[in-house]
Every structure is written in structure tokens, then in C-alpha cells.
Amino acid sequence: MMMKLLQKSLMFVGLVCLAALFINAFQDAPTDENLEKKIINDYNVYALQVPDYLDFAGEQVPLSNPDILERMDKELLVNTYWQSNGLLMFKRAQKYFPIIEPILAKHGIPDDFKYLAVIESGLTNAKSPAGASGFWQIMKATGREHGLEVNGNVDERYNLEKATEVACKYLNKSKSRLGTWTLAAAAYNAGNYGISKRLKAQKVNTYYDLLLGEETGRYVFRIIALKEILSNPNKYGFNFRDKDLYSEIPTYKVAVDTAVKDFAQFAKGFGINYKILKLHNPWLRQNVLNNKSRKEYYIEIPREGYYTAP
């Protein structure tokens, strides 16, 4: 009798313990509300404080104007929270700014204009629907007007050094015509005539006083936002090591003043393949170089040891 009573007592205790475990498990299970709170707490989005002072090429941004402050705030927010794109800009800047910076300096162009190339192309050899190409998004006519060779065989808009030279010439002309570097930057997007016409029609003399379309209206603000973010990675939450950034592969130049019938075979002669040759010479648009005029071209060849042999 006592044994049966003990068995029943143990069963009762076991059922109570099982019920308690079930209740606790149910209470600990993440409800939709708890899960939502967890996600919110794990990922926070913060308002940004626009710096008290910002400038472009030494020309101060009038942040005391509430319209200017809001537009600047927008571009800082958009470009800070587009994190994947931002990290790519840091990586590519490490690789390409050392090529761009000395050319800007040689032509007397403020260093801030390297950020114009960032917003134009993302530091890639992009091509727009309108046909603008390369890091500096140069149109065919503009390239030819400034001495670039542009045809089916060769397109020097994709030669970073030569394209930067052309951009510098255009920007210096714009500065001479319009008076400020900020207006020269805006004219890179809307054209010298377009900016001059709007200044005259609206009876103002600065970019920040102009009423412009969406693209040109955001243009200079985007440049300044990228300058601010790329100059202050930690401030805007970008974390990386030096080894995470891209670096330029050392090259040497090979002079060619004859036709080349097969660049794939040409590349093999230097221990690389056609793909690697094109990566370093994107201005070569075909597998051949006609060169009937016997013009001298300089082809970049990567130094030995950076790529595996084909």
C-alpha cells in the first residue's frame, strides 16, 4: 500500500516538473514582439550630426542656410548608410587616388576634385546610357576635343592618366569662366553653358543659390559628403584594416609603334594572359591594334610575381 502511494506521489511530482518545464519553455520562446525588439536592439540607425564647417576646394558650404543644411544632411545619411558601397569606395580610393592626386596637383586643380571621380563612376570604368565613359565619365566629343583617341580600336577615355588630364583641362576652363571651384564642379555635370544660363536667369552668382534639377542640385553635395566620409571613416562607422584595402599592381610600360594582330599572343610573351593585359589597359578595345599611322602607344605590363603564369 505504501509502495503504491509512493509511486503515485512520484508520478505527481514528475508531472508537476514536466508542466513547469513546458511553461518555462513556452515563456522563453521568442514571440514576434520579442524578436522584433531583439532585431531593433541589435541594429541601430542613428541621425548624423552635420559638421559645423564643411568646404569644397576651400570654399565654405553655407550651412547656416536651413535648405543647404537639409540637403547636406541628406547626402551624408544616404552615403553613410549605403555601407557596402562606402566600403568599396575606401578600398578603391586606396588603389586609384595615388594616380589621380599628382595629376590634379600638376594642373593646379584642388585635391577635393578626386571625390568628383568617386561620384561620377565609383572609381570604375563605367559607361553611362548617354555614352560617357571611364572614371571621369567623358563624352566622345569632349574626349576628342581635348586630344584623346576614341574609336573602335582604342578609347583613351579608359586610360586613367590621360582621362584625368582631360578632366583637369575642362575644370580649369570652367573655373576661368564661372569664377569658383564649386561652380566648376557643378558645370562638370550640367555644362558650362548650362550653369552660366541658370545663373543669369535666376540673377544669382553661387551654386548654393541656384534652383537646379535633381541631379545637378545634388551633385556638389554628394561630392562633399563623400569627401567628409572618406576622410573620417571611424566617425561614420566604417571599420577596416590596411590589408582590407586594394592596392595598385606595379607595372612597367612597353612602347608599341606597329600593328598588333593578336593581343592574346602578345600578352603571353610577357608571362600574362589577355584578361590581365586588358585589366591594366582597358583603353585597348579589341584584341588587335591596327595602328596604320605607326603611332607610339605605351602598354602597361604588370611586374613579375603578382599574377600566376597562364
Question: 24 pLDDT band (50/70/90 cuts)?
Answer: very low
Question: 5 pLDDT band (50/70/90 cuts)?
Answer: very low
Based on C-alpha coordinates, what's the Rg of the chain? 30
Distances (CA, A) of 265 to 253, 287, 304: 18, 10, 17
- Overall CATH class of domain 55-244: mainly alpha
Chain segment 250-287, per-residue pLDDT in tens = 999 999 999 999 999 999 999 999 999 999 999 999 99
Backbone angles phi, psi at 288, to 5 degrees: -130, 160
- Percent of the chain past pLDDT 90, that is, above it, reads 82
Q: How buried is 127 (Cβ within 10 angstroms: 0-12 exposed, 13-18 middle, 19+ buried)?
A: middle
Is 19 in contact with 26 (CB distance < 8 Å)? no
Backbone angles phi, psi at 299, to 5 degrees: -100, 130
- Nearest to 119, CA basis, from 200, 205, 227, 257: 227
Average pLDDT over residues 50-78: 98
Chain segment 35-48, per-residue pLDDT in tens = 455 545 556 888 99
Distances (CA, A) of 67 to 54, 70, 77, 78, 229: 15, 5, 16, 17, 21
The two beta strands, 251-256 and 55-56, are unpaired
Domain boundaries, the chain: 55-244, 251-302
Is 291 in contact with 257 (CB distance < 8 Å)? yes
- Please report the pLDDT score of residue 205 as a whole number: 96
The 10 Å Cβ neighbour count of residue 286 is 13
Is 259 in contact with 291 (CB distance < 8 Å)? yes
What are the grid coordinates assigned to 136, written together?
571621369
